[in-house]
Structure 1
Amino acid sequence: MKWLLLLALAALSECLVKLPLRKGKSLRKHLEENGLLQDFLKSHPYNPASKYYPSLAQEAGQPLQNYMDIEYFGTIYIGTPPQSFTVIFDTGSANLWVPSVYCSSPACSNHQRFNPQQSSTFQSTSQSVSIQYGTGSMTGFLGYDTVQVAGIEDTNQIFGLSETEPGTFLYSSPFDGILGLAYPNIASSGATPVFDNMINQGLVPQEVFSVYLSSDDQSGSVVIFGGVDSSYYTGSLNWVPLSAEGYWQITVESISMNGQVIACSQSCQAIVDTGTSRLTGPPTPIADIQYYIGASQDSNGDYIVNCNSISNMANIVFTINGMDYTLTPSAYVSQVRGYCISDFEAMNLPSNSGDLWILGDVFIREFFVVFDRGNNQVGLAVAV
């Protein structure tokens, strides 16, 4: 989506106003092109206590496409002139990478590939990168270039150029690459994540981004960099401190049904992950949940429920920092090709604090999420 920034000198003030941006141009760039930058900086002197000129930073929305309620991805641009790529905006990882023209894997043959020789601003490195996901992996090398996200021009951004993408998952994926939004300490090869680079360059007014994911294959999904839009949720935001900084990790106090705790009786650790479709957990408690909701495993490994029973199934409640977050049966059961499938899935994800649960898209569709890097917390509210 292209954004248009209406420039009027009289409208420049100390307050931050949410304005849409034309793709690829920052407010600083517009001021430079119109001969207004020097006058603006004279009237808005630099504050040494701040990392940036506050009035030059704007919050910006990145539209996402909902692909069958399975994946959400948006378009970014890399290089000069810009080359376009669709990427998953993934809070469960921290690297940006896209396929390159040096990749010979089948997964690269049917996706957009970055050609560094066609970018005048590309800078190569001798550093390699290798990333393993729950499904799929990549190897390649790192380079620097200008990355445009949500109309924000993120210069000197390090990113991965894939040379191998083994397996079939990435071949069949409707997106080209991945843009990680987790903490830099889990980034492969020590690469600086995109949002950290935005913060360091003063491109966002606040060290937060927020996510709204639409339901039922609808449009309207968005990542908002630098701010929060209250039109995407009802009630108030409830803040949850992170229990560890790397993933967006929080403590779930319990998981219950009909007032009975059915999992996490002694609390458990979970990550809020936009890059995971389902809601996952360790095999034993997930098996218990499948039993309680009446799901049985078929020959494909999916847990099937009777579609006629959905209206009579119970809600599942996640208690987090003293607040209850309710998933209705229609939220945790998907209808696929005439079958009704449980969206709970067993997955081993070990960490220093035990096996992690993943609150994936199944959860995030129901709750608007604010990812607050400045205060190391997430905000949750009922999505509209």
Structure 2
Amino acid sequence: MLTHFHSYPCRVKLFKGKTVRNILAERGLLEDFLKKHPYNPLSKYRGPSQQDSSGSTESLLNYLDLSYYGTISIGTPPQSFIVIFDTGSSNLWVPSGYCSSPACRDHCKFNPQASSTFRLSNKYLAIQYGTGRMTGVLGYDTVRVSNIDITHQEFGLSITEPGSFLYYAEFDGILGLGYADYAIAGATTVFENMMSEHLVEQFMFAFYLTRHEGQSGSEVVFGGFDPNHYTGNINWVPLTVEGYWQILVDNVKVNGQVVACESGCQAIVDTGTSLIIGPVSPIQRIQHKIGAEAQLYSMLGVDCGNLPTMPYVTFTINGIEYHLSPDQYVLQYNYHGHKYCQSGFSTMALSDYEDLWILGDVFIGAYYSIFDRGNKRMGFARAV
């Protein structure tokens, strides 16, 4: 039973111009942060005919060129939160007044006592992500995403948020868009309720991600997709596993030469993972061919001057080739007046998943991605 409620003011979020990377750099904290918290997005992994539809659009903001987040509200009257929309996890959670961790004190927290529609459950949850973790309790309330109101939505209220990553994060919580079978504590997912309450016309959602830090225009559409954000045909790919959004990759090539997945391999399409992740040996081959070398705190960098002559990397999926140019698979940013370039590929850290790839934001930024629950498939088209 939770008897002590900690009330703190919600800080003002910085929506325009500055990202967490900018803020850490200005405070002289970026290098130390990267040294102590090298990016590892993997520990959250434990264990019909084409129809145009605008659906309900939620604008997303670029976070560190590595994540994308938007605004939702919970409760009556509504309390607003910044969340990452994550197709690689399945739970919705936000900080709460029950939490006294430093990360909670510096973020917007849900106040159950201020909502007339809140109901507390007797279930607890603990979630581990690649760069942070949380423990909490489950409750029920009205959740608004874009212009969609979902009544009696189950969500997590954090009790602890250990470590410093969530403290520095510009977002408050996470909204998981994976399948319900992968939800911690058996929680009903947001999109499951959207479907069961018939709040979306089509059982799908779609992501458009801009790929330059601070650039506006990123969005997720619920109930359809936006034809203004892609060119050419949508290529549909059947899911191989309904849990994560998992598909079969035929092969991976560099300049037309197969370097990985010679006999096919499984891949997860994950908006909550920044880079393209793969097994050690194939990724090392790709890094070698694109000229990536270890630079800052285990991150693999490339010479920014070599971008015009670097090779294309191609993923063949369901017989269709998806080409990534150097501008698309290299992350570029400025720090202390100098330009840095980082490889958009990284190795799989967990041996249990040695054959699995993750197509993160580097891939999704290049190819408009439609997550079609109704037909158990993914759709890809070249983003514009």
Q: Distance in 2 between matches of 1:198 and 1:129?
A: 22
Following TM superposition, by how much is the alpha carbon of 1:380 offset from its aligned partner in structure 2, in angstroms? 0.2
Following TM superposition, by how much is the alpha carbon of 1:158 offset from its aligned partner in structure 2, in angstroms? 0.1
The change in CA–CA distance for 1:58 and 1:322 in structure 2 (over 3 A counts) is closer
Q: Distance in 2 between matches of 1:100 and 1:328?
A: 42
1:173 alignment counterpart: 169
1:123 alignment counterpart: 119
1:22 alignment counterpart: none
In the alignment, which of 287, 290, 298 is matched to residue 287 of structure 2?
Answer: 290
User: Is residue 248 of structure 1 aligned with residue 249 of structure 2?
Assistant: no
Q: Retained in 2: the 8 A contact 1:101–1:115?
A: yes
2:367 alignment counterpart: 367
Following TM superposition, by how much is the alpha carbon of 1:260 offset from its aligned partner in structure 2, in angstroms? 0.7
Q: TM-score, normalised by structure 2?
A: 0.83
1:145 alignment counterpart: 141
Following TM superposition, by how much is the alpha carbon of 1:58 offset from its aligned partner in structure 2, in angstroms? 8.7
Following TM superposition, by how much is the alpha carbon of 1:345 offset from its aligned partner in structure 2, in angstroms? 1.0
2:150 is paired with a residue whose SS is strand
The runs of at least 4 aligned residues of structure 1 exceeding 2 Å deviation read 347-351
5+ residue gaps, structure 1: 1-56
2:47 alignment counterpart: none
Q: Retained in 2: the 8 A contact 1:349–1:357?
A: no
Q: TM-score, normalised by structure 1?
A: 0.83
Q: Distance in 1 between matches of 2:313 and 2:327?
A: 11
Correspondences of 1:248-267 after superposition (within 5 Å): 248-267=245-264
In the alignment, which of 62, 65, 89 is matched to residue 66 of structure 1?
Answer: 62
Q: Distance in 2 between matches of 1:201 and 1:187?
A: 19
The change in CA–CA distance for 1:61 and 1:221 in structure 2 (over 3 A counts) is same
Q: Retained in 2: the 8 A contact 1:349–1:356?
A: no
The change in CA–CA distance for 1:72 and 1:141 in structure 2 (over 3 A counts) is same
Q: Distance in 1 between matches of 2:293 and 2:54?
A: 49
Following TM superposition, by how much is the alpha carbon of 1:177 offset from its aligned partner in structure 2, in angstroms? 0.2
Following TM superposition, by how much is the alpha carbon of 1:170 offset from its aligned partner in structure 2, in angstroms? 1.0
Q: Retained in 2: the 8 A contact 1:348–1:356?
A: no
- Structure 1 counterpart of 2:59, which letter? P
Following TM superposition, by how much is the alpha carbon of 1:126 offset from its aligned partner in structure 2, in angstroms? 0.9
User: Is residue 342 of structure 1 aligned with residue 335 of structure 2?
Assistant: no
User: Is residue 90 of structure 1 aligned with residue 86 of structure 2?
Assistant: yes
Following TM superposition, by how much is the alpha carbon of 1:104 offset from its aligned partner in structure 2, in angstroms? 1.4
Following TM superposition, by how much is the alpha carbon of 1:280 offset from its aligned partner in structure 2, in angstroms? 1.0
- Paired residue total: 327
Q: Retained in 1: the 8 A contact 2:279–2:354?
A: no
Q: Distance in 1 between matches of 2:73 and 2:298?
A: 38
5+ residue gaps, structure 2: 1-52
Q: Distance in 1 between matches of 2:203 and 2:167?
A: 34
Computing the radius of gyration from Cα coordinates, the structure with the larger value is 1
Q: Distance in 1 between matches of 2:167 and 2:242?
A: 32
Deviations 1:54-102 (A, max 9, x none): xxx9921011111232211000000000000000000000000000011
- Structure 1 counterpart of 2:71, which letter? T
Q: Distance in 1 between matches of 2:292 and 2:91?
A: 36
Q: Retained in 2: the 8 A contact 1:253–1:264?
A: yes
Q: Distance in 2 between matches of 1:293 and 1:215?
A: 19
Q: Distance in 2 between matches of 1:350 and 1:203?
A: 40
1:216 alignment counterpart: 212
- Structure 2 counterpart of 1:365, which letter? G
The change in CA–CA distance for 1:119 and 1:313 in structure 2 (over 3 A counts) is same
Following TM superposition, by how much is the alpha carbon of 1:349 offset from its aligned partner in structure 2, in angstroms? 4.6
User: Is residue 236 of structure 1 aligned with residue 233 of structure 2?
Assistant: yes
2:378 alignment counterpart: 378
